[in-house]
Structure 1
Amino acid sequence: MVNVTKHGVILRKTELGFENEGVLNPAAIREGDFVHLFYRAVSKGNHSSVGYCKLKGPLTVQDRSTTPLLVPEFDYELQGMEDPRIVKIDDLYYLSYTAYDGLNALGALAISTDLQHFEKQGLIVPQITYEDFNRLAEIKGLINEKYLRYNEHKRDFEPPGKKAYLWDKNLIFFPRRINSKLCFLHRIKPDIQILVSIDHLQELNPEFWQNYFLHFDECIVLAPKYAHEVSYIGGGCPPIETEKGWILIYHGVCDTLKGYVYSACAALLDLEDPRKEIARLPYPLFKPEFEWELKGEVNNVCFPTGAALFDDRLYIYYGAADERIACASVSLPELLAELTQNTTKHE
């Protein structure tokens, strides 16, 4: 098994109004000796904005803003901006996040050239009802019945005059173009899906998504496989490029007598065609075991969302019990070696 070092909590909630209920699930990007964290800050009433702090090295907080960096401005994010991830592609930073309007949770994007000023691009995942999704996705055959279990019921909560859409979260870009194309992961429960075929964001129109769902079975890159992820999985950190493939740190969820348990997991995807799974750990990379992971706003949660590489050591930043931010680290060569010992058998 891979040796994991847990470094404990590095960021906690404060008495400031925008983050007095919790800080969690940070985007992370390394620039020189510093790591920039863009984290979900939660205020009373479960309203989320994006807070910011800068680390010196992988673990030491040097600066922390006393005001949110990004706040909800538009109807589609009225209740909050949640669970950001960040990558740099060419000369542009892509900050993806879940926009929540109180009913719908959908992937949105903001871009920046300097990590200080961000321009919101709006929702970039489809706004589609479960009924329409199911109709399109099943044209080529029945889909996993868990899609119905996790998604269809949301129509029961529709307020007058408002549509309930298929929740599409965990929007995560790859940190470079692949074969000149932008590529991103997203998640419609219970699997992780992938999109690898656009030159520009403007291509993501209703016609594009209709065609996408007609070929939905070809877009599932990872599905639950092992006991610790049997309920559902979702994207975690942006993929990490290695000579053997893209390392994907994701979250796996298992329903237990104590409720859902969220663990950090690892897989390896093909460099040139990341739709191909090369390997996957048959056990969690790490799971809740300490007080800060076991007890909080949501118990039993390790939710990885950002990573930074220092020398050969990968530091993974994660939400702990949906209330605080913690960090764990692994040797990247050791993780890669362990993954390659657990290659995926394809039918």
Structure 2
Amino acid sequence: MRRSVMHAWTALLLLLFVAQVKAQDLHFMKVDSVNPCLTLRSNTTFYCPVRKAGVRWEEKDVFNPAAVVRNDSVYLLYRAEDSVGRYAGTSRIGVAVSADGLHFSRYETPVLYPDNDAFKEYEWEGCCEDPRIVEDEQGVYYLTYTAYDGHTARLFVATSSDLFHWKKHGSVFRDVYNGRYAEGWSKSGAIVCRQQGDKLIAQRIGGRYWMYWGDTNIYLAHSSDLLHWTPVLADDGGLLPVIRPRPGMFDSDLVEPGPPPLLTAEGILLIYNSRNHPATGDTALPAGTYTAGRVVMDKTSPSRMISRGSSYFFAPDKSYELIGQVNNVCFLEGLVSFKGHWFLYYGTADSRIAVAVGK
């Protein structure tokens, strides 16, 4: 009886949480007055422990940020590239903070970067890049990010209690299927969460946490602790694609999770990034254009799709989105609820960071 009452209260609380936002009500407007809200800097130097030398760690490009609200401020954990090395730029993760969600100040040194540690072989000389972040009930932050050694991208996870001191845990897939998915190509892990005030809290569904991941198809994985993840497999033993590219459409070449998926009244709202195929895509878009779409997945069965938009809702149309390291790119990774609004943070042309605001 006591357990049944607890389950009933849990279900009621979940309904209260997800009722705060509806999937189709999120409409965003780019804030032209401040965009791009974060750009490269050539005057900040970081002593790289691997190179054993100082590097201007954010002088080439800054882009693709995660976002979180802490102590009544918005924090961005953003990808920054230097201009040295075999790959013309090693990526590290820096921190910027804002009291209004629009104007940011930055800390001088990165907080997550390749080091002489147990993970050097996976992160050097490539990078730590493209973070996404959620929080657990105890206030611990979980950052999924891409470790890249110059040949293979691998989905890693790190934890922190303050956003500045991070513990790396390595591959999210290291302990399952004999490490088969730990050594192969994997990236872009977005963990399902719920809104709790201005916090986005990782949410269990059916007793498990869930994560959408992948950068061609979108796949699914589950976890009991947010550190060790098990990919969901299809009947043939391979990975189960839950969202695929669609020929002839804006998302014809690839699909990739954006910010952490959000529980809503209708289901799990997943904002995803997509690329237009040069030969079989939407002829109204330039080849290779990155736009963003929305899909709603079942909140009791996260592999089941409920609805998917027939067109993109976010696309490059500003000069800083059209021209850069990679042209025609809006790449969405950060989403926060802050002071009664939703703030969406995204990379522009793999070169700058911009913000859009919605209700």
TM-score, normalised to structure 1's length? 0.77
Aligned counterparts, 1:1-347, within 5 A: 3-7=27-31, 8-15=35-42, 16=44, 17-44=56-83, 45-61=88-104, 63-73=105-115, 74-78=120-124, 79-91=126-138, 92-125=140-173, 166-174=184-192, 175-187=202-214, 189-196=215-222, 198-200=223-225, 204=229, 212=233, 219-225=240-246, 227-256=249-278, 258-310=286-338, 313-331=341-359
TM-aligned CA deviation for residue 202 of structure 1:
7.0
| Residue number in structure 2 paired with 1:145 | none
Q: Structure 2 CA distance, aligned partners of 1:297 and 1:202?
A: 33
Q: Which amino acid aligns with 1:193?
A: Y
Q: Structure 1 CA distance, aligned partners of 2:227 and 2:145?
A: 18
Deviations 1:4-33 (A, max 9, x none): 311121100000300001000001012253
Q: Structure 1 CA distance, aligned partners of 2:143 and 2:113?
A: 13
Which protein has the bigger helix share? 1
CA 1:229–1:32: 2 relative to 1, 3 Å: same
Q: Structure 1 CA distance, aligned partners of 2:175 and 2:329?
A: 29
CA 1:203–1:126: 2 relative to 1, 3 Å: closer
Which protein has the bigger strand share? 1
CA 1:280–1:311: 2 relative to 1, 3 Å: farther
Q: Structure 2 CA distance, aligned partners of 1:165 and 1:115?
A: 27
Q: Structure 1 CA distance, aligned partners of 2:63 and 2:157?
A: 19
Matched-pair contact (CA < 8 Å) for 1:33–1:57: no
TM-aligned CA deviation for residue 280 of structure 1:
1.6
Matched-pair contact (CA < 8 Å) for 2:346–2:354: yes
Matched-pair contact (CA < 8 Å) for 2:174–2:228: no
Matched-pair contact (CA < 8 Å) for 2:172–2:227: no
Deviations 1:63-82 (A, max 9, x none): 31111111112211112001
What's the C-alpha RMSD, in Å, of the aligned pairs? 2.6
Stretches of structure 1 that go unaligned for 5 or more consecutive residues are 134-163, 332-347
Deviations 1:139-172 (A, max 9, x none): xxxxxxxxxxxxxxxxxxxxxxxxx953211112
Q: How many residues matched?
A: 291
Deviations 1:226-275 (A, max 9, x none): 61001110011001222222211110110238541001211112222221
CA 1:126–1:186: 2 relative to 1, 3 Å: farther
CA 1:216–1:29: 2 relative to 1, 3 Å: farther
Stretches of structure 2 that go unaligned for 5 or more consecutive residues are 1-23, 45-55, 193-201, 280-285
CA 1:215–1:110: 2 relative to 1, 3 Å: farther
Q: Structure 2 CA distance, aligned partners of 1:5 and 1:322?
A: 20
Q: Which amino acid aligns with 1:192?
A: I
CA 1:266–1:311: 2 relative to 1, 3 Å: farther
- SS where residue 170 of structure 1 aligns? coil
Deviations 1:265-295 (A, max 9, x none): 1111222222121122211111011101000
Identity %: 32
- SS where residue 62 of structure 2 aligns? strand
Q: Structure 2 CA distance, aligned partners of 1:203 and 1:34?
A: 30
Q: Which amino acid aligns with 1:72?
A: P
Q: Structure 1 CA distance, aligned partners of 2:135 and 2:236?
A: 29
Q: Structure 2 CA distance, aligned partners of 1:97 and 1:229?
A: 23
TM-aligned CA deviation for residue 203 of structure 1:
5.4
